[in-house]
């Protein structure tokens, strides 16, 4: 009886709720750091790669649900993080493993969230939550620890809309920090300016792998400082939020398109498209996972890709200067563009993976080819 009483009290002490803005309430158990949080509630269908998801800057301002039922089984190793901290606002799982089994594991996922002061909730019906999001669309939510959800409901009424926030500014390096990354100039073949809207570590590693010197500029960079650096090419990184809130970056990129080869990934792809007059729109529940099929319209090949975005480029508004090169086969949204005469390309998916299939690293080689073509023509 005493043991049962202790278990009951522990269960009550960890009780909490995921509350959605449509009034839905899901009861579960709190793990990680027990601080109430809010964000746009989204889901990711990847079976592995939870640490990369947690540390991906593109998830800033979002509560992420993992559809795979067991998370944390191989633990946490700081070497595979995609940024220097957890970026999600909150984390929702069916089950989190308390005893991970992997030789490289350093801490549990519960300990990771505690260390980074991020709340998680488990032991709820994640399938039911995901079905609701798929039918109604993404919405704001709150993770709340307590026996009575009323406080969480009141808190949710006061939170801002995800669409109204410039979230990239919060994850971008500040303007005073034009950071050099990786190999020095004497060992490199190319100088790349990375516009940091929430760049992932593996993007920088893959550029270094191709003998690139990298200088990282903020999303609100100084135009003259970038020109002074005189890069061989510009990469506009992925990041969080609605590209419509980043017209300051669209304007800067518009001023540079005639001078440098450019490569945009995810949000960077959307920024590039908008710089040529295209429109972007919000998807009902987005594409987030490691199994999204994309067709290359030039080669006819189909690739399985990693994706993480809630916005897309509108096909009918694309400029005559641009060509659609890739489409998502699930909903036929634009997944790639290139300029017809300038060395400029963009992809909506994540060729750097992390997590996801590495089949699409070749896109970085295509960016290098654009740079070489520009050099050959000068």
Domain check: are 73 and 176 in the same one?
no
Per-residue tokens: 181: 């990354």
Q: Are residues 285 and 338 in the same domain?
A: yes
Distance CA(105)–CA(12), nearest Å, equals 30
User: Which residue in the list 287, 326, 339, 350 is annotated as catalytic?
Assistant: 350
Between CA 199 and CA 226 the distance in angstroms is: 17
Catalytic-residue membership of 352: yes
Q: Which of 163, 191, 225 is the last residue of a domain?
A: 163
216 and 343 together in one domain:
yes
Query: Is pTM, for the whole model, over 0.75?
Result: yes
Kindly state the tokens that stand for 95.
């089950």
| Same structural domain, 11 and 76 | yes
Check the CA dihedral 96-99-105-108 and report its sign. Answer: positive
CATH number of residue 57's parent domain: 3.50.30.20
Q: Could you tell me if 63 and 117 lie in one domain?
A: yes
Strands 90-92 and 119-122: parallel
Number of domains comprising the chain: 2
Same domain, 342 and 358: yes
One domain, residues 157 and 263: no
Q: Which residues contact 334 (CB under 8 A, 6 or more apart)?
A: 273, 312, 313, 314, 315, 318, 324, 326, 327, 328, 348
Tokens of 273: 């498209």
* Contact (CB, 8 A) for 262 and 253: yes
Is residue 359 located within the same domain as residue 253? yes
Residue 39 and residue 128 share a domain: yes
* CATH number, domain containing residue 324: 3.40.50.880
Q: Which residues span the domain enclosing 265?
A: 168-377
Which one is catalytic: 40, 52, 169, 352? 352
Closest of 289, 245, 293, 290 to residue 270, by C-alpha: 245
CB 152 within 8 A of CB 63: no
105 & 190 share domain = no
314 vs 346: CA distance, rounded Å: 14
* Domain endpoint, select from 163, 191, 217: 163
* Pair (87, 30) in one structural domain: yes
Known catalytic residue at 116: no
From first to last of the 378 residues of the chain, give the pLDDT tens digit: 555 544 455 555 799 999 999 999 999 999 999 999 999 999 999 999 999 999 999 999 999 999 999 999 999 999 999 999 999 999 999 999 999 999 999 999 999 999 999 999 999 999 999 999 999 999 999 999 988 888 889 999 999 999 999 999 889 875 444 456 665 556 789 999 999 999 999 999 999 999 999 999 999 999 999 999 999 999 999 999 999 999 999 999 999 999 999 999 999 999 999 999 999 999 999 999 999 999 999 999 999 999 999 999 999 989 899 999 999 999 999 999 999 999 999 999 999 999 999 999 999 999 999 999 988 887
Give Cα separations from 346 to 30, 325, 357 (angstroms): 40, 9, 19
Q: CB-based contacts of 5: which residues, under 8 Å, 6+ apart?
A: none
Q: Which residue has the tokens 């998830």?
A: 59
Task: Establish whether 339 is a catalytic residue.
Answer: no
Asked whether residue 55 falls in the same domain as residue 193, the answer is no
- End residue of a domain, out of 163, 192, 227: 163
Pick the catalytic residue from 82, 266, 309, 339.
Answer: 266
């Amino acid at each position: 009886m005493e043991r049962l009483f202790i278990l009951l009290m522990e269960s009550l002490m960890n009780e909490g709720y995921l509350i959605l803005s449509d009034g839905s309430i899901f009861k579960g158990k709190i793990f990680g750091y027990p601080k109430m949080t809010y964000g746009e509630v989204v889901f990711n269908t990847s079976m592995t790669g939870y640490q990369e998801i947690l540390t991906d800057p593109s998830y800033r301002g979002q509560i992420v649900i993992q559809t795979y039922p067991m998370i944390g089984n191989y633990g946490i190793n700081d070497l595979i993080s995609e940024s220097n901290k957890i970026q999600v606002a909150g984390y929702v799982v069916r089950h989190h493993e308390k005893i991970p089994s992997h030789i490289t594991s350093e801490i549990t996922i519960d300990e990771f969230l505690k260390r980074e002061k991020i709340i998680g909730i488990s032991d709820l019906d994640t399938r039911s939550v995901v079905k609701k999001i798929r039918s109604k669309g993404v919405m704001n939510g709150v993770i709340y620890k307590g026996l009575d959800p009323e406080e969480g409901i009141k808190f949710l009424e006061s939170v801002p809309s995800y669409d109204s926030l410039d979230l990239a500014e919060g994850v971008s390096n500040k303007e005073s920090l034009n950071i050099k990354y990786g190999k020095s100039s004497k060992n490199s073949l190319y100088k790349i300016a990375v516009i940091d809207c929430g760049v992932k570590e593996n993007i920088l590693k893959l550029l270094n792998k191709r003998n690139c010197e990298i200088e990282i500029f903020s999303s609100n960079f100084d135009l003259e400082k970038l020109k002074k650096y005189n890069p061989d090419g510009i990469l506009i990184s992925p990041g969080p939020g609605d590209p419509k809130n980043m017209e300051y970056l669209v304007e800067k990129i518009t001023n540079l398109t005639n001078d440098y080869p450019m490569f945009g990934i995810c949000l960077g792809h959307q920024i590039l498209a908008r710089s040529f007059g295209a429109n972007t729109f919000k998807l009902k529940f987005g594409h987030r996972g490691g199994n999204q099929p994309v067709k290359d319209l030039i080669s006819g090949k189909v690739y399985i890709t990693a994706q993480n975005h809630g916005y897309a480029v509108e096909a009918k508004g694309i400029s005559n200067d641009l060509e659609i090169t890739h489409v998502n086969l699930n909903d036929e949204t634009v997944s790639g563009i290139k300029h017809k005469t300038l060395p400029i390309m963009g992809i909506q998916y994540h060729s750097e993976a992390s997590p996801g299939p590495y089949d699409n690293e070749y896109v970085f080689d295509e960016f290098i080819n654009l740079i070489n073509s520009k050099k050959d023509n000068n």
